[in-house]
A and B are shown apart, each in its own frame.
Chain A
Amino acid sequence: MAQAEGHQEHPLQIYFWIWGLLFILSGFSYAVDYYQLEGMLRWSLILLFMFLKAGFIVAIFMHMAWERLALIYAILVPPLCLTVFIAIMAMESDYTFLARLVAFGPAAEIIAPHH
């Protein structure tokens, strides 16, 4: 299917399938909120539907599945750095949150009465 010139012509059927799938997955995402699911179940379902939708859009609608491997790596590998960025900022956020609780929270008067 993948031609050297990057010519992307595929059967129409596949687009209709993915289109339908994206509708269904969006419906599921909305249902997570509508039925007010909580905690880990809510977060894992949100992430699952999000990654499925994103994957279908990139792979099929943006034709990444049929592109040359060199292009796929060049585009999809760099964003992986973001996982490190997210981890660093999450750790920093935890620290800031604790510092704010200590300095401005209800416990601040107990820890440092003359603050």
Chain B
Amino acid sequence: MTQEAHAGSAAVISTGNRGVVADISGDKQAFQVPWGKAMMWIFLLSDTFIFSCFLIGYMTVRMTTTVPWPLPSEVFALSFGGDPIPLILIAIMTFVLITSSGTMALAVNFGYRRNKKVTVLLMAATALLGATFVGMQAFEWTKLIVEEGVRPWGNPMGAAQFGATFFMITGFHGMHVSAGVIYLTVIAWRVGSGYYDRKKGGNYETVEIAGLYWHFVDLVWVFIFAFFYLW
């Protein structure tokens, strides 16, 4: 991929900032994958540490508080006319996100098969499911703030830290989903308009890279679901 670009510069010694980069990098490719994919993985690694810091912070405040922690099972229960069903909205959100991960995995596959139409449709479905997830999250936040009186500094159910960690963690995750919806829409648009056929010689690896981001968002939710909602 980038090999051709480097091959020509081997004989020429770069100067200035380019020289710094060339010297430090040794002008070698470390990972035998497209550079975009390696960079996305490294970004996701850094994101892993950010979300881990939030979850570890949550663990710390939950372990240190002497006031009982509100029961997520009851706080997030929802009633459809009858008795409240525990955690039902969160369960539906989980299934929506997993479904979107499945459609994304298929989109990557059809991208590599050069099936533009199916790829765009699957990516649009993924983005739509992502938007549905964010919508349900907005509903959840509204219910919690307006009906249950949860604030970042306190709530009527128990430990004050509940609101702070909840809004921080789910808010940051929701922001990732929203960004992902925009990202997927842009890439789907480019696939549909034939951008990758014209500019990249029919190379659809960008779809896979966008897919990595989307699966990561689903991956983070797996941990939030386990630690925040189920624990």
Q: Which residues of A contact B (CB under 8 A)?
A: 4-10, 12, 15-16, 18-19, 22-23, 26, 29-30, 32-34, 36, 42-43, 46-47, 49-50, 53-54, 57-58, 60-63, 67-68, 70-71, 74-75, 78-79, 82, 85-86, 89-90, 92-94, 96-97, 100-101, 104-105
Are the CB atoms of B87 and A6 closer together than 8 Å? no
Secondary structure at the A interface, as helix, strand, loop or mixed, is helix
Q: Which residues of B contact A (CB under 8 A)?
A: 1, 30-34, 37-38, 41-42, 44-45, 48-49, 52, 56, 59-60, 63-66, 73, 86-87, 91, 94-95, 98, 101-102, 104-106, 108-109, 112-113, 205, 208, 211-212, 215-216, 218-219, 222-223, 225-226, 229-231
Are the CB atoms of B94 and A4 closer together than 8 Å? no
Are the CB atoms of A104 and B32 closer together than 8 Å? no
Interface centre among A29, A30, A70 (most CB of B within 10 A): A30
In the bound complex, how far is the Cα of B108 from the Cα of A15, in angstroms? 11
Are the CB atoms of A29 and B216 closer together than 8 Å? no
In the bound complex, how far is the Cα of B73 from the Cα of A67, in angstroms? 39
Are the CB atoms of A82 and B56 closer together than 8 Å? yes
In the bound complex, how far is the Cα of B86 from the Cα of A33, in angstroms? 8
Q: A30-B87, A46-B226, A75-B41 are in contact. Are A89 and B56 (CB under 8 A)?
A: yes
Contacting A22 at CB < 8 Å: which of B56, B98, B106, B113?
B98
Are the CB atoms of A54 and B223 closer together than 8 Å? yes
Min CB gap B177→A, angstroms? 15
In the bound complex, how far is the Cα of B212 from the Cα of A15, in angstroms? 14
Chain A hits for B218, CB < 8 A: 57, 61
Closest chain B residue to A11 by CB distance?
B109
